[in-house]
Amino acid sequence: MIQKILTYLLAWTVLACVASPSAGFASETDDTMLMFVGEDLNVLSIASRREESARQAPAVASVITRQMLETNGAYTLSQALAQMPGFYMGQKEWGTQPYLRGIPDSVLLLHDTVPLSSDMTKSVHSLDDDLSLAGIKRIEIIRGPGSVLWGADAYAGIVNMVPLTGKDVNGVETGVHYGSPGSQSGFYVNTGHDGGKWDAFLSVSGREADADDRTANVVSFWGDNDTDLPVPPEDRYGYARADRPHYLEFNGNANLGDFLTLSGRFSDYSRPYTMSEENNELSWVESRSTPINYVKLDGKKNLDSDSLIRYTGYYSSINSTYKVIDLEFSPEEYTLYNELVYDQNFFTGKGQLTTGAAFRRKQVHDAPIWDSYLPDYLGEDNTTVLPGITQEDYRTDLWSMFGQYSHKIGNADVSFGARHDEHEAYKDRTSYNAGVVWPFVPRWNIKALYGTAYRTPFARQLLEAQDADLEEINTTSVELSWMPAQNVDLSVCGFINRIEDHILEDPYAGLSIPNHQKIEGIELEGLVRPVDRVELGANVTVFDNSGPDETYRFVDYIFIRPDGSEEPHYAELSYPYNPGPDAIYNMTGKWSLTDRITLFGRAGYFSSQKVICPRCETRQTVPGVWLVDAKLTVRDIWSPGIDLDVFVWNLADKEYLVPGTYSTIEGEPFETMIMISKRW
């Protein structure tokens, strides 16, 4: 751990030397300015529920603007987050699994502040082609708990996507793209109108991705479900391949000044993929569709010059479809949310209070809960037993009260807050935060932050471990940033995560026994412009975790009594905690050859990982991997308003392996894509 930290501190020091003021930059910097003069590169609203710069926010915060999205080679949210410190985007058969600071499935993903998550399982993440960035204005990021203002699942961090409005797009933008391998294609249309006192925006996008080219040999197992027996072995095996994934999305909003906003999102998609057991002797096709749709209403009323009241209400739905070989589930989840917030300034603006109350109701229908490990049942020696699957309905209500107060003392901003969540279905909990943001000398800024959060139980945990304590995290972060010149921004952040009572879920093997972990790490980040039209960036994340192994309790076989009833036999198996790679490194470079032509390149590295599979007989380790991406952007290529983008991903493809669900799988291959867009 120490060697890793020293190695990457050296890299950060070299970057700092290149960026020193002696390189010709202005030596005076206004501490209140944004990163680069004339560019709103780091304005966000999720740290305090009001717009502020990431540098001044009471959180370890970052912002990815639309301008950055247009040039940095990221087509999906997972590609954008992979370039940020602290994040690792794990590749799985079914999509991307996010890790933040060594914790999987721990990020609260918001679209216009509406959660894109599910209580049925924590593996639902809208990070890939199922979420379009075409209509997104900026991506706001917080590394660290944010539960006081955003609720229980703002666990290890928050990612909020802010949509465009009619003020941003007063006209029409269209784009089409084509990629290889697999003849990937898609389109988007953005249209907006600015009517002065009102504006409206609509984005429509569709995509067809490359199909999983792995083959499956288990083509039928449940059959027509007329019997309680699996399909006979002679009819069970054959040849199958996953179908082609497709995606469709609409999102838009209508605004009446800053007083009233109506917004919404609708999506539909299907993603088939191939699964394999540890030794790859058995493989089968699954399909997942978890479209998250919502309608949201925001209202704001100024009471006087120092106070206002805000209302947010939304209704979201997830009409899922899961297919495993020839068995299909259609679980549903509905959420009703209402929130009232009051803002008040005190002491001529030195003090700011945000307080409010919220109510959330979730209803889940037919949530599938596996009682058994599926690969154990697919072999030809099993002719009599089907894996146990239970489908459950449940409802949970949540009442919340919260408040956060910040006060300026000299140059320092001191903040503290608390949130009490009163649950109908499980234990009540109170979350806290406290922080100091202090520009103690010109061009230097320090943040000292502490926060706690609790995670909402997923379906299986709620129904099988009702008496278990909620998973808790306590995070301490200290960030030091330095802006020696207008075009330089360097920072270092140390963090400690303490996790208590966490429960993990293997897709088919069951729940782990409540456990605890401690994760200590450091994040280094730098962005400089050594010469005109050239921008260089780098970030490094290294950490180490300590804690007991995870213990799973699962059904290893079933007794069939003489009367035909079944008696499961349980066994326990221990495995290490899965933090993902413990070292992540990104280097980026952008060169604006002219006002119209920009080249971008990124080299990213993640270290070796253990294949954490509770039911696997062997323990594997995959080596670290370097990935290289590039993008060429040409504006007004044929005539004004017509742009060309050329993407290249995994340029240094080594046919690398990454951990899958039950075994290693091949990482994403070399890919290219060409996009042509037009603005009217």
Mean pLDDT of the chain: 88
Give the residue ranges of DSSP H helices in 348-487: 459-464
CA distance 605 to 539: 11
Torsion of CA 367, 373, 378, 381, to 10 degrees: -140
Q: 301-346 pLDDT, tens per residue?
A: 999 999 999 999 999 999 999 999 999 999 999 999 999 999 999 9
Q: 433-471 pLDDT, tens per residue?
A: 999 999 999 999 999 999 999 988 777 776 665 556 788
| Residue 158 CA from chain centroid, whole number | 8
Report the pLDDT value the prediction gives residue 373, as an integer from 0 to 100.
79
Q: What is the pTM of this model?
A: 0.91
Q: 201-251 pLDDT, tens per residue?
A: 999 999 999 898 889 999 999 987 677 889 999 999 999 999 999 999 999
With 0-12 CB in 10 A as exposed, 13-18 as middle and 19+ as buried, what is 483? Answer: buried
Asked if residue 40 has pLDDT above 60, the reply is no
Mean pLDDT, rounded, for 36-46 = 62
Partners of 628 in the beta sheet?
603
Residues 520, 495 contacting (CB under 8 angstroms): yes
Mean pLDDT, rounded, for 483-511 = 86
Q: Which domains does the chain have, with CATH numbers?
A: 2-679 (2.40.170.20)
> Euclidean distance between the first and final Cα of the chain, in Å?
53
Main-chain phi, psi angles of 3, to 5 degrees: -60, -40
CA distance 361 to 313: 12
Asked if residue 371 has pLDDT above 80, the reply is no
Query: Residue 587's pLDDT band (boundaries 50, 70, 90)?
Result: very high
Among all chains, which residue has been given the structure tokens 């456990």?
515
Secondary structure of residue 7 in the 3-state scheme: helix
Q: 155-203 pLDDT, tens per residue?
A: 999 999 999 999 999 999 999 999 999 889 999 999 999 999 999 999 9
Report the pLDDT value the prediction gives residue 21, as an integer from 0 to 100.
39
| Residue 533 CA from chain centroid, whole number | 31
